[in-house]
Amino acid sequence: MWVLARPGPPTDARPTDKAALPQATTATELAVTVHGPQTYDVSFYLRKAPPPGGVPIQHATDAFVGEDKLLRAGDTARVTASGLQPGATYEWYAVVRGALLEYSGAEPNTASDEVWTDVRTFSVGGDAASRAAQPAKTQAK
């Protein structure tokens, strides 16, 4: 019987929460660093954030972006999210799972074998990114 160790919480998530990407951004890298005593696979998911005051979208509507496989402690899992739209805000998260059972023909026990990151947001363009990209205005005296 295979015994899996639960992955440690992923760290160094990029883009960081509430990041503002430049207006012209159409793709960005999603990344996390994995931790734990075995080999892991990391799946990344993306969705458009609800409008302010809107109802949060359920996980069933999340788009699978991609997976980085066979990572060990300290490795960084990376995928590229493309098709981003100017002015849109996105939510993303990653799920780290033990890779061991995939190669023995059994399904992983998702109750004990996976760790989800917090949901993070980033926006493309918009007010925060536009202000960051523009030089500061000075008032004439």
Instruction: Give yes or no for residue 74 having a pLDDT over 90.
Output: yes
pLDDT of residue 77: 97
What the chain holds in terms of domains, given with CATH numbers, is 12-127 (2.60.40.10)
At 7, is the pLDDT very low, low, confident or very high (cuts 50, 70, 90)?
confident
Structure confidence by residue, pLDDT tens digits, 119-133: 999 999 965 444 444
Structure confidence by residue, pLDDT tens digits, 56-71: 555 556 889 999 999 9
- DSSP string spanning 58-121? PGGGPEEEEEEEEE-TT-EEEEEEE---TT-EEEEEEEEEE-GGGGTT----TTTSEEEPPPEE
At 112, is the pLDDT very low, low, confident or very high (cuts 50, 70, 90)?
low
